[in-house]
Structure 1
């Protein structure tokens, strides 16, 4: 035996007489079985939890669909930085020789049209006030408007700009001011009497926070409108009766469409007028019908109008427009009222006649007269209809 072999035998000798130790206290087979059992329980619990989550998700979707798909064309909630379309958020006074005529609500902007306060002062110039919600601005060359222009006198302490290029209407004199941080208002004057001084006076007459409710004179069934149409605004008269009377609900697929002609208007307009219309009977009532308009001739002043061919096609064509007109019902007798005016014509600076001038910038109630509250009696519309300022 070689020396290495002798050394190996010597080292292994103690192992030949050693006895095996007692078996360990853990039963391996039993442990494996227990592990498999726990795994089955865990997987079952996960499956049940997943099933519960799916059921909860389906239930949540069902609730969400009920919220997103109401049974009537309700407006979208205003949100933190939007307006409520069923309330007028501003008051505009008689200033610069102008007085309010109509007010159009909207979620992202509210629009007021003003006309000459006195018939003798009407030179063909009109004014438009557009108040935007925070973060919303008009479009300029296909992009959102960025504040720019010559610095003007601050409006109620807020920075103001006289625009070098108009953004509300072409060829207009326009003033913009930041009526609250991140929110801008605009005055747009158009016509031979337009100037920056009158724009400033109108801007000074605007008061925020009015929250005046508007009237919905008619009920419009949701099924009679387009599948995606909902209420996006209300147009109402707030001025003298000589301008004519209007109280219409405006429906469109989204709030931005309120600034386009792709919309459906339903409501009351006096006096009634219809271009290129033919006589018809709608819902048992006499009417004048054109491709995009139904005007009832029973003294109610009810009108249903598609703003353009796209809106008409979305509705389903002129036959569906007549069906919509037949389904409309009055909910109350329309009433015409003026909001309290915020007048502003400092002494000696008014461009209006003395009868319409106001001694200071104050908020008050207009005097009784053609602009006072009244009720529309069928057939009593006076004067010519007011064209929409272009």
Structure 2
């Protein structure tokens, strides 16, 4: 038997199989010719359906890997690679990757040696709900949480705290989620915690320099604050200086998008400025950015704000 006969025989068997579905005429007989033609049409339709289904399956297999929610999560960075000397993060680089979860999305990230803080905003533009994630280096949390046990977070032990959750993201290292200005919502807090992944990031790129003489005696870099891109635009980058990493004696200086409603009320170093009780804001004429200084005292803020030089080519300068 040659291949042509085999194919023909197979085709005829398929058609004959379809004859079982043909109803006899009113006289009790079957028109074999008509039934064979109908059977062949059914075979052709089935082949077309199978071909379409196969093509659709192939297209789906090609398309699905490109969808962001089907991509595997990036691997977590071991805690031993995130902390220096076993007890401190890199003060200029983020140590965690945070996703959108529980109706929140990241708004800003503050690096630090002993803790890193991620502020969240609601994904609903009409809502003012906010939350804060605080991640501590090993042994740097103020106290161990003593709330009732919570479901594990990424297979790590967790406990409930007032309006939030604490979990041990690595041995001896804890993180917390706090829902601000909200009633208890444990499910929401747990989903936010699940979105936090230990992952070393590159040091933050700072688009300006600060004259070291203006920083102040005893102060050093204790963190960098950046906004998450909103409409693909990062609206704020700043650096924080202090004498101690977790103390409250910090002073911060940086650049941000100016608010259209901001009006100058002073002049510093021949630059229009808006000065309030808590902030100095320089408004360089014709520039798409403002230079701000917060924290410290008034004279220190003025000195620091006027010591900033925006790098050429950055911030559309």
Interval containing the TM-score (normalised by the shorter chain):
0.5 to 0.7
Unaligned residue ranges in structure 1 (runs of 5+):
1-76, 139-144, 167-172, 335-375, 379-390
1:302 is matched with which residue?
A: 290
| 8 Å contact kept, 1:99–1:239 | no
> 1:173-184 counterparts in 2 under 5 A?
173-184=163-174
1:97 is matched with which residue?
A: 103
1:289 is matched with which residue?
A: 275
In 1, Cα distance between equivalents of 2:159 and 2:115? 19
In 1, Cα distance between equivalents of 2:146 and 2:109? 27
1:327 is matched with which residue?
A: 307
In 1, Cα distance between equivalents of 2:283 and 2:99? 34
In 2, Cα distance between equivalents of 1:239 and 1:112? 14
Aligned length: 233
In 1, Cα distance between equivalents of 2:197 and 2:214? 38
| 8 Å contact kept, 1:232–1:251 | yes
Name the CA shift for 1:174/1:149 in 2 (closer, same or farther; >3 Å): same
In 2, Cα distance between equivalents of 1:89 and 1:214? 11
> 1:17-166 counterparts in 2 under 5 A?
78-120=84-126, 122=127, 124-138=128-142, 145-163=143-161, 166=162
1:302-338 residue CA offsets vs partner (Å, 9 max, x unmatched) = 333242xxx22xxxx52x533332221012555xxxx
In 2, Cα distance between equivalents of 1:203 and 1:274? 37
In 1, Cα distance between equivalents of 2:92 and 2:199? 14
* SS of residue paired to 1:211: coil
> Alpha-carbon deviation of 1:104?
0.4
Instruction: Pick 1 or 2: higher relative contact order, CA cutoff 8 A, min separation 6.
Output: 1
1:200-259 residue CA offsets vs partner (Å, 9 max, x unmatched) = 1011110102323212122111211211111100110114259982211111111112xx
| 8 Å contact kept, 2:110–2:117 | yes
* SS of residue paired to 1:200: helix
| 8 Å contact kept, 1:250–1:263 | yes
Name the CA shift for 1:175/1:291 in 2 (closer, same or farther; >3 Å): closer
| 8 Å contact kept, 1:99–1:115 | yes
Please identify the structure whose Cα radius of gyration is greater: 1
In 1, Cα distance between equivalents of 2:159 and 2:164? 9
* 1:229 maps onto 2:219 in alignment: yes
2:5 is matched with which residue?
A: none
* SS of residue paired to 1:119: coil
* 1:219 maps onto 2:209 in alignment: yes
In 1, Cα distance between equivalents of 2:103 and 2:253? 32
**Normalising to structure 2: TM-score of the pair?**
0.66
| 8 Å contact kept, 2:164–2:186 | yes
> 1:200-215 counterparts in 2 under 5 A?
200-215=190-205
2:253 is matched with which residue?
A: 266
**Normalising to structure 1: TM-score of the pair?**
0.55
> Alpha-carbon deviation of 1:193?
6.1
Name the CA shift for 1:300/1:85 in 2 (closer, same or farther; >3 Å): farther
> 1:290-369 counterparts in 2 under 5 A?
290-298=276-284, 299-307=287-295, 311-312=296-297, 318=299, 320-331=300-311
